Structure 1
């Protein structure tokens, strides 16, 4: 086995650092695949023949309403996988959302059959999946509260307009979250949605307003 590849994988997925046998199995059965930005990995209703472990780049998981409006459920970065992808495989169900790449990157694709086997044979794999499940469930619960009760997107826009000077706001996502009484993850997701819709431009600790 290529030591460089093993070290790269462990650096991105440190939970498997002491799981040499599991890592060897993953790398033996996985296929490495590059992707470009704006590539749909899954459409709602697709079957899941493999699970993706992201090595580089970012993937956005979202739902689309009848009106065409999109809502981001969560984003996946290096060192993560999609819990809906895992659920799709384990429950033998169709993918219940859409997954599109935000930027170019790479991923490891583990066939569904091998993923089920690894999950059953290695406690570290199941612990990794359940840890991500807990994290994503918390994020989605915050999203539900935000949409149902808070209209956080409207509050965020009002905040950006009020706090900016000449269309520029210098602030961290955490500072904005603290001011609005929500989490940094919620603020980051909403800001990225605004940027995707070309209403703002994001840079490090700087937000440029375009069409708010």
Structure 2
């Protein structure tokens, strides 16, 4: 149960579906929900585990990823404030185990909703149902985009584009390790290190331990757009 007025106000402001829902649902939501706090780098879910609750993130962020047999990671998506995990929601609806891994990247505040309440509210409450379905729709498009990038786009182009996106969030100085970037792109740390060295030799970036500085954003953008997709040729008839 969440009864603190400050928490209720914060959560209501963060999740629009609560503002749109009827008062009876709002009351039931806070009576049934609980609040948790997680430190950074805390494992949240492991592949194959049962999903017993759905977490709605109030603050902080989590990363959901797949892990190959040889230990290589590929980031599927991140979960930020106002969001939830679509894989968890899907597993709850279908009664299936979690198919990936999840870890907190920053300290997280979250609301926990039980499996029974997730299912019941999806059946009975349009505001809650629309929140989940809209989240699933947007995340599905994002994951499809990742699959297409991995399948059809060269790693050096993807890395250049990834640096541009990181730069939009943090500015020209990007604090990230080679391994973190490799996990986001679904490749190896060695490949990332080699490409970053090439970009540095071309004076598009400069690097230091745990830091990448964008020196020539325009050339980096042009690099990311070269031969944007390399789709396989159709076989000869």
Q: Same fold (TM over 0.5)?
A: yes
Q: Given the alignment of the two structures, is residue 169 of structure 1 paired with residue 213 of structure 2, yes or no?
A: yes
1:113-150 CA deviation, whole Å, 9 max, x = no partner? 01111111101111111111111111111110111111
> For this pair of structures, how many residues does the alignment match?
181
Identify which of 84, 92, 101 aligns with 2:95.
92
Q: How does 1:86-125 map to 2 (within 5 A)?
A: 86-125=89-128
Kept after mapping to 1: 8 A contact 2:149/2:158: no
Matched, 1:8 2:10: yes
TM-score with structure 1 setting the length: 0.76
- The answer to whether the Cα contact below 8 Å between 1:59 and 1:99 also exists between their aligned partners in 2 is yes
Alignment partners' CA distance in 2, 1:41 and 1:166: 32
Unaligned runs of 5+ in 2: 160-191, 227-237
CA drift of 1:177 comes to 6.3
| Rg (Cα) greater in structure | 2
**Is 1:46 matched up with 2:49?**
yes
Per-residue deviation at 1:27?
1.4
Contact 1:6 1:23 in 2 (8 A): no
> Relative to 1, partners in 2 of residues 1:165 and 1:67: Cα closer, same or farther, differing over 3 Å?
closer
**Structure 1: tracts of 5 or more residues without a match:** 183-212
User: What TM-score do you get using the length of structure 2 for normalisation?
Assistant: 0.68
Which shifted more, 36-45 or 14-23? 14-23
Could you tell me how far 1:38 is from its partner in structure 2? 1.3
8 A Cα contact 2:20 2:127, kept in partner: no
The question of 1:73 aligning with 2:69 is answered no
The offset of 1:166, in angstroms, is 6.7
| C-alpha spacing 1:118/1:145, structure 2 compared with 1 (3 Å) | same
CA RMSD of aligned residues (A): 2.6
**Corresponding residue SS for 1:68:** coil
